[in-house]
Structure 1
Amino acid sequence: MEEIVIYGDGSMAQTIYPYLSQYYKVKYFTVENKYKSHMSLCGKPVLNFEDVQCNGEKFIIAVGFHQLNKLREKYFWSLIKKGFTPASFIDPALKEINNIHIDQGSIVLEKTSIHYNTRIGKNVFIATGANIGHDCIIKDNAWINSGVTIAGNTTIGSNTVLGINATIGNDIVLGDNNFIGAATLITKNTEDNACYATEATKQLPISADAFMAFTQKIS
């Protein structure tokens, strides 16, 4: 098995480890010393990023969308500069179907649907259960959470974050560095650095028990 290094030592790193360990020999985790929170993780050492040297390993970025993915972007190129080669993890069910292209360093988890002729850039993260339509373009460093739906012929800008269950309409262009909140519907193009969020659901002025009793009376 090829050796791989995981950048990160938090929950994201722990999440991706069991996926990668099926196809790679995970050699160690690494983070900058100032961010380091563990000495070991999943039975592997966590090394200071400042000290690591490449010995032919591949790498993958496993940190969250802090600073609108700018940290993920920074370490992606820092590891390449050190000589590491970007790896990807793509759910095996997606490989070799629908004429899709997924670039280096990207992660696509299980139960994700990606339709015909879609192009996904470098260092993109797509969580479980996303649905991406035909002829879409997902630019570098984007983060797509679980349950997101992207209709066909849509472009997602670089470094953009889509929250859980966000929906992006057909023929839409999202700008770079957008933040789209959970359960938010986008039906028009957006500018760079835009932020959209749906108002949180309000509590009804009735208890759950009283509501259930009411619904049973009228059903």
Structure 2
Amino acid sequence: MNKVIIQGGGEHARVVLDCLQAQGLQVVALFDPKYTGDLWGVPQRGAYDPAFMPEARAIVAIGNNAVRKRVVSITQHEYTNAVHPSAIISSRSSWGTGNMILHGVIIQAQAHMGNHCILNTGVRVDHDCIISDYVHIAPGTVLCGTVTVGEGTFIGAGAVVIPGRKVGAWATVGAGAVVTRDIPDYAVAVGNPARIIKYTNIS
């Protein structure tokens, strides 16, 4: 099946649309109540319609992890993955569905990713990493070997997580941070070395 719908119409959805079109897939609609008209020839159809082309596959292209999880829960179409042709992905890695593996990403052997994750531009995921559902890893981030990232976590642009560290669920790691110690669930950590500045509960 090469027909895809996108849930979301903002800036991140535009990158995902570009990715899907680079894969040679036919994006037939974008659904987002905030947008009308068309984007690069693809109609923006407003609120999601579960009856629209039920045979099409879906991607929820929303950068906010909590919002993406909520939208996934109401989306009735089956999912596909967006994988840009420039990504370098080991055949010995694995992932679920609904994921966005964008331009220039590298995924090494025995890395595993769950569902509905975003590996943004130029992310590096080394061997044996485990990335749970609804994670967003921002551009230029490096996960060294055997890193574990919990559900719903956001890791900011250019961050580095050293080998073997665990970043908990629904945590936030600031841009440019260097994670040298484990980060608990719901923690917000910034700096080099990363230090916890507060806790949140957004899941």
Q: Same fold (TM over 0.5)?
A: yes
Alpha-carbon separation, structure 1, partners of 2:78 and 2:49: 17
Structure 2 unaligned regions, length at least 5: 193-203
Residue in 1 aligned with 2:63? 64
Deviation, structure 1 residue 154: 0.9
Residue in 1 aligned with 2:28? 27
Residue in 2 aligned with 1:15? 15
Structure 1 unaligned regions, length at least 5: 200-219
Deviation, structure 1 residue 38: 3.0
Name the structure with the higher strand share: 2
Structure 1 residues 90 and 51, CA, compared in 2 at 3 Å: closer, same or farther? closer
SS in 1 for 2:44: strand
Alpha-carbon separation, structure 2, partners of 1:101 and 1:78: 26
**Which structure has the larger Rg over C-alpha atoms?**
1
Q: How many residues align?
A: 189
User: Residue type of the partner of 1:12?
Assistant: H
Report the TM-score, using the length of structure 1 for normalisation: 0.80
SS in 2 for 1:16: helix
- The CA deviation string for residues 145-177 of structure 1, in whole angstroms up to 9 with x for no partner, is 111011111101111001111011111111100
Of 110, 113, 117, the match for 1:117:
110
Alpha-carbon separation, structure 1, partners of 2:44 and 2:103: 27
- The CA deviation string for residues 96-118 of structure 1, in whole angstroms up to 9 with x for no partner, is x3400021010111322211100
User: How large is the Cα RMSD of the aligned pairs?
Assistant: 1.7
User: Displaced runs of 4+ in structure 1, greater than 4 A?
Assistant: none
1:161-176 map, 5 Å: 161-176=154-169
Alpha-carbon separation, structure 2, partners of 1:120 and 1:99: 12
User: Residue type of the partner of 1:72?
Assistant: R
Report the TM-score, using the length of structure 2 for normalisation: 0.86
Deviation, structure 1 residue 25: 1.1
Name the structure with the higher helix share: 1
